[in-house]
Amino acid sequence: MEKFEPKITAGLNELTKALAENEIVKDYRQIARKVANNSRLQDLEEKIKAAQQEAVQFAHYGKPEAEKMALIKAEHYQKEYENHPLVIAYREKLILANDLLHFLTDNISQNVNQAIDKLADKEIE
């Protein structure tokens, strides 16, 4: 990968720092850590995976009733996971952070395109 011009690298570093200091990003990172470190959520994730694996095994061995029960169990754990207050808060913060990043990338794209258009117009003149 080619090196960027020092001016571009400095701008990227400044943008990265500004994002890291942004309250939306800070809130998202904080709730993401809480979710990752929550033992109940980790337990539910393991139960969901185990129930899904059981369902696959039961399907493989032609046991439709056992497969159905395993899928019901997995769905129960999944709903419990999705309705956990930390997961709900995480999703809300994720949406806000995602919106911020989309705004930034759209803005950068527009500015770059405008700069390119101006350069092209100058070359034509």
Instruction: For the chain, 125 residues long, give each residue's pLDDT as a single digit of tens.
Output: 367 788 888 988 999 999 999 999 999 999 999 999 999 999 999 999 999 999 999 999 999 999 999 999 999 999 999 999 999 999 999 999 999 999 999 999 999 899 888 888 777 76
Token pair belonging to 103: 């705004």
pLDDT, residue 118, reads 86
Measured distance CA(70)–CA(118) in Å, rounded: 61
pLDDT, residue 99, reads 98
Place of tokens 């754990």: 77
pLDDT, residue 119, reads 84
Both 79 and 94 in one domain: the answer is no
Both 51 and 72 in one domain: the answer is yes
Residues near 20 by beta carbon (within 8 Å), at least 6 away in sequence: 26
Both 71 and 92 in one domain: the answer is no
- Residue 94 CA to its chain's centroid (Å): 6
Both 76 and 64 in one domain: the answer is yes
Query: Looking at the chain, how many residues does it have?
Result: 125
Measured distance CA(57)–CA(77) in Å, rounded: 18
Both 67 and 96 in one domain: the answer is no
Residues near 64 by beta carbon (within 8 Å), at least 6 away in sequence: 58
Q: Indicate the angle between helix axes 85-124 and 23-37, nearest 10 degrees.
A: 140
Q: What domain range is 117 assigned to?
A: 85-125
Look up the pTM and report it: 0.79
